Structure 1
Amino acid sequence: MSAFSGHVPGSRDYRMLLIGLFFGGVATFAQLYATQAVLPQIADDIGSGPASAALTVSASTLGLAAAVLPWSLVADRIGRVPAMASGLVVATVLGAATLLADDLVVLLTLRLLEGAALGAVPAVALAYLSEEVHPRHVAAAAGSYIAGTTVGGLSGRVVSGWVGELAGWRWGVASVILVCVVAAVIFLVLIPRARGFVSGRDREERGPTVRRRIGVNLRSPVQRALYAQGFLLMGAFVAVYNYLGFHLAAPPFSLAPALVTLLFLAYLAGTASSPRAGALAVRYGRFPVLALSIGVMATGVALMAVPALVVVVVGLILFTAGFFGAHAVASGWTPVAAAPEARAQASSLYYLGYYAGSSVFGWLLGVVFGSVGWFSFLVVVLAMCAAALGAALVSLRAVRPSP
């Protein structure tokens, strides 16, 4: 029997894998951001201020960032699919438990644990892809998974916001949990069993220890440049979405809150761009598509400096499409560029940098925005895009394409 070389487009398992991971992304990221659109209601119900209510989002992303490396170790032991399935089931139960929380500390604790459980999917999904899909098609497959994360992020915000405005934040979050249950069931039913996985015990007998696998990734210029993409570009992305609403609520725009909420629909640009970027990376190479995506991001940032609503919205769409294109390429490239025995740790380190960027710059650029205004804020965002492109030029441009 010939050795397994990975699923290819056109095969049933390839289709099932893409659909399954798409819904795994929905189930993960809808829960992660379920409270963001209902923060005012949470603040009123629990008796906390806006900043304290916003910690419900920060707690979940912090939990996810802290858990990605441990989940990669678990997945090396028990397998990729069992790890992802376990994380989704536990997270959904914890998400349902948040509906009963009447105390902010209890709510934050549950959100932290929920985020830690959700970390199983981003920690493992790309390593699973790199092992189960033929190397030539990993970039395209990763784009489909990233598309699922955009749909999840959008639905988590929009569904909870719409339902929460009518029935309160608990019903808003409950509606998202219901969506996640359906998505998780689809994931569990469709995801193919792993055929390219080598257990952690076999890895340890034949290769380096966990500490060495992490060290190998951190010493690699290619891996560090890929982690820089996640850290800088995600930081820029979250900061823009955090503070654009404040900018548009002030003159000369003076938009109502309900209209500002509709800005999240720009996420659909990422749903379209992430699989497209993956497909283009297969055809033209990862580096050109990554560089182009960062350029599209930067163009969107420049347009958002124009004091005209239509131009700002076009800029936001371009910025979002460029970000998710870059993220699809960089995240899919990370496990492929790593040593086979260190792929799960490579993906986990990417997401550690990704969510660290979200936490650091999501707050830090708020200080910039509050101190020196929107235009200077955008200059910093542009500088972050330029730094990411610079890191890619130095360390990724000369990387030989995967087969």
Structure 2
Amino acid sequence: MPGTHDGPNMQAADQTTQNTSPQRWVEPGTPAYRRVAMALFLAGFATFTLIYCVQPLLPAFSDDFGVSPTESSLALSLTTGFLAFSILLAGAASEAFGRRRLMFVSMCAASVLNIAEAFIPNWHVLLVMRALEGFVLGGVPAVAMAYLAEEIHPRGLGLAMGLYVGGTAFGGMTGRVGVGLLTESSSWQVALGVLGAIDLLAAIGFFILLPPSRNFTTKPGFQFAYHIDAWARHSRHPALPLLFVIGALAMGCFVTVYNYAGFRLVAEPYNLGQGAISLIFTVYLFGIAASSLAGGLADKHGRGPVMAIGLLVALAGVALTLAGSIYAVIGGIIVLTSGFFMAHSVASGWVGRMATQSKGHASSLYLLSYYLGSSVMGSIGGWFWTHGGWFAVAGFAALLLVIALLLSGHLWRYARRMETCLA
């Protein structure tokens, strides 16, 4: 098995190996499979702690900097927006520089930026830093999905993707909860600095654990025409664009609910403090379990039905948050989180399976849509909060899920037709 460290000639060695021994899959149940799964778990953890650590801080930003709830949401929306576009560039760059190396550099750079944000006293400078952090993080998500699709045997891809998404769920939870608790005991500046240091350690662990690619050949230089052609082919695919839109809608719903739940819960009649609100994010544990479960179920029973179930579960969660009881609100967030991660886990794995060529480009288009949904719809949700309160926010989120569910029905029928043709 290849070593775990990139030496000066590692890319050339990798390319030689790939040319002579194509499709050397990492088999489920092997030590290499466990190392890959743990490494990508760390990548998902670091990426999502860095992206979403500011989400529980939106009410604090609104108070400290004297900005509106909609404007405070830019601390997250700018990160995901710049992340969305950088994913396209990062996916292309990984074709030249290699998957593993690019992910490691991205994780390190973003962690250092997060530490630097602890020393920024100006709101607009903080927004610039958050945008830059999103841009450098683009080297992780699309490349991680492409690495798994290229290296993991197809029969174990669903579970491996589920574990990666589980890492993103754990990171999202840890970032939100840890930052919230540290903010209450010290300050949000200390919280951001500590989190950045932890993620720097996660990046080092990732680099040590992840084996270099064995089924991927680098393409030196930036071949502009090649990348444009690859993105165009995926955009013309009869089903892949449906996956892209479903990802955008589901993520838009999820981020909208989480962005403005904090504003709802600090107000009457709940009057929760920063620490109590951050503890609500421990419901991400349900997302970790749901994503791993959905990946395994999709491998056994098909991706179409599992995705539809996930979206229906998420819709039920949104409806439950309309109740006045704090227990019903938290229960609704739990149900929404479980359903969302089921759908996202299935969609992530489905992109890699449906794209027969240039899997990195397909993953980058999915994540472009996914994070644009987070950025655009997450901020639009602020308008609904300002003008209609929680009922308007929930109605907007539910509409996004209903559209996603209708599109998933078309996707499911397409998949069944393809299976019939191949039978």
Q: TM-score, normalised on structure 2?
A: 0.87
What corresponds to 1:243 in structure 2? Answer: 260
> Which residue in 2 is equivalent to 1:396?
412
Hey, what does 2:125 align to over in structure 1? 106
1:143/1:260 CA distance change after superposition, 3 Å: same
Question: C-alpha displacement at 1:179, in angstroms?
Answer: 1.6
1:92 is matched with: 111
Indicate the residue corresponding to 2:179 in structure 1.
160
Would the alpha carbon gap of residues 98 and 259 (structure 1) be closer, same or farther in structure 2, given more than 3 Å must change?
closer
CA distance in 1, matches of 2:73, 2:80: 12
The Cα shift of 1:152 comes to 1.1
Match of 2:298? 281
User: 1:223-282, CA deviations, whole angstroms, 9 ceiling, x for partnerless residues?
Assistant: 111001111000000111122233344455454454333221111111111111101111
Q: Do the aligned residues in 2 keep the contact of 1:252 with 1:307 (CA within 8 Å)?
A: no
Matched to 1:186, the amino acid is: G
d(CA) in 2 for partners of 1:192 and 1:312? 43
State how 1:247-258 maps to structure 2 within 5 Å: 247-258=264-275
CA–CA distance in structure 2, aligned partners of residues 386 and 133 of structure 1: 33
Sort the Cα spacing of 1:371 and 1:56 in 2 relative to 1 into closer, same or farther, 3 A: closer
State whether structure 2 residue 230 is matched by structure 1 residue 213: yes
Alignment of 1:135-284 (within 5 A): 135-201=154-220, 209-284=226-301
For residues 43-66 of structure 1, the C-alpha deviation after alignment (integer angstroms, 9 at most, x for no partner) is: 666x45355554322232222112
What's the CA shift string for 1:171-211, capped at 9, x where partnerless? 1111111220221111111011100112235997xxx8211
Cα distance in 2 between the residues matched to 1:40 and 1:322: 26
Q: Assess if the C-alpha contact under 8 Å between 1:94 and 1:110 holds in 2.
A: yes
Task: Find the partner of 1:68 among 68, 84, 87.
Answer: 87
What's the C-alpha RMSD, in Å, of the aligned pairs? 2.5
**Equivalent pairs: percent with the same residue?**
37
The aligned residue for residue 12 of structure 1 is 31
Q: 1:253 to 1:89 in 2, by over 3 A?
A: closer
**Does the 8 A contact of 2:47 with 2:140 survive in 1?**
yes
Q: Summarize deviations over 1:112-168 as a string: whole Å, max 9, x none.
A: 211111111112110110000011221111110011111111111221221122222
1:366 to 370, 382, 399: 382
Q: Do the aligned residues in 2 keep the contact of 1:245 with 1:260 (CA within 8 Å)?
A: yes
Matched pairs, number: 399
Q: Secondary structure at the match of 1:10?
A: coil
Change over 3 Å in CA distance of 1:320–1:40 after alignment to 2: closer
By how many angstroms is 1:7 displaced? 1.2
Q: 5+ residue gaps in structure 1?
A: none
Counterpart in 1 of 2:9?
none
- The one-character-per-residue Cα deviations of 1:70-107 (angstroms, maximum 9, x if unpaired) are 00010011111111112112222222222332333332
8 Å contact from structure 2 (residues 73, 379) kept in 1: no
Structure 1 position 376, deviation (Å): 4.1
Between 160-169 and 23-32, report the one with greater CA deviation: 160-169
Structure 1 counterpart of 2:403, from 387, 390, 399: 387
Which structure 2 residue ranges, 5 or more long, are not aligned? 1-19
When the two structures are superposed, what TM-score results if normalisation uses the length of structure 1?
0.92
Verify: 1:352 aligned to 2:407, yes or no: no
User: What is the Cα deviation at residue 331 of structure 1?
Assistant: 1.3
Greater shift, 34-43 or 2-11, is seen at 34-43
